[in-house]
Amino acid sequence: MRSTAAVPATSTDTTTVPPSASGDFGKVWLIGAGPGAADLITVRGARILAQADVVLHDALVTDDMLALCPQAIKILVGKRCGKLSTAQQFINKQMVDSAKKHALVVRLKGGDPMLFGRADEELRALELLGIEVEIIPGITAALAAAASSRQPLTKRGVSRSVAFFTSSTAPGEADQTTIPNCDTLVQYMGGREAATTAQRLLAQGRVSSTPVVVVENCSRDNERIFRLELGRLEGGLAQCEGPVLVMIGEALRERVRLMATGDSLDVDGDLERRDVA
């Protein structure tokens, strides 16, 4: 028998959790946790998380985020590039098994579920069995990184197009060698692939002085921001150990501005900021 989650009755909470269309399964919610900081999850996402019976969460979801659902059973289904990860088929099975036992199941994903989040595979597994599913978007890392670095991804007269891409591929698939042709490029999971990306862009004719902004551990307490040029990116990012986002393009060229205390204008690719408010 499935467990049922109590829904707090408040005059301001307009989010309701309807019963599942299928009597055999509970409802599954794919929720974007955002880039990392717990207070960057959406209000709706936090409300549903607080009602969940069970939460299947990514490895990058923080303890502060999980503190928003103290009532829930928490299951780590971590997937990290280059790390030992839970197989996607097993994650799909855990979602289905959880929906058989519980009324409200949350699949909590870093960033936004619909961008590099394997949502298609998970939706297919749930829809195949007629399990009701709903999606709550989250702030994707590219937008959070642009905010942290105070560098818009678009700029009038300079950048009218933005491409999000990753070089990571599914097991058994050939390496991704094409790079989008856009004014501003944002590479997800770019730590290990940054050097190869730089080499390919330089070979395509991008100038070595093209600005690059690298954000590690975006929005977290240990966030770090690096500024460098494409020619230097070719040497890799050995100094980065956490999740890395690489932003490339003329829109990322630093403005002449007065920096706040603790920040510095960086022309050598060294660390720009260490602290996140």
User: 223 and 215 in contact (C-beta within 8 Å)?
Assistant: yes
DSSP-H helix ranges across the chain: 43-49, 63-66, 88-101, 119-128, 141-149, 194-203, 230-233
Q: Is 113 helix (H, G, I), strand (E, B) or coil?
A: coil
User: 2 and 23 in contact (C-beta within 8 Å)?
Assistant: no
| Residue 268 neighbours by CB under 8 Å, 6+ apart | 228
> In the chain, helix, strand, coil percent, each to 5?
25, 20, 55
| Catalytic residue (one of 53, 65, 79, 247) | 79
Task: Using alpha carbons, select from 49, 4, 7 the residue that is nearest to residue 30.
Answer: 49
Cα–Cα distance, 212 to 230 (Å, whole number): 6
| Catalytic residue (one of 27, 65, 95, 189) | 189
Residue 1 bears catalytic tag: no
Q: Is 179 helix (H, G, I), strand (E, B) or coil?
A: coil
Residue 189 bears catalytic tag: yes
Residue 13 bears catalytic tag: no
| Catalytic residue (one of 58, 65, 95, 112) | 58
Q: Is 3 helix (H, G, I), strand (E, B) or coil?
A: strand
Q: Please, what is the angle between helix 119-128 and helix 88-101, to 10°? A: 40
Element (H, E) at 102: none
Six token digits for residue 31 = 């929720």
Q: Do β-strands 244-248 and 184-188 pair in parallel, antiparallel, or remain unpaired?
A: antiparallel
Active site residues: 58, 79, 189
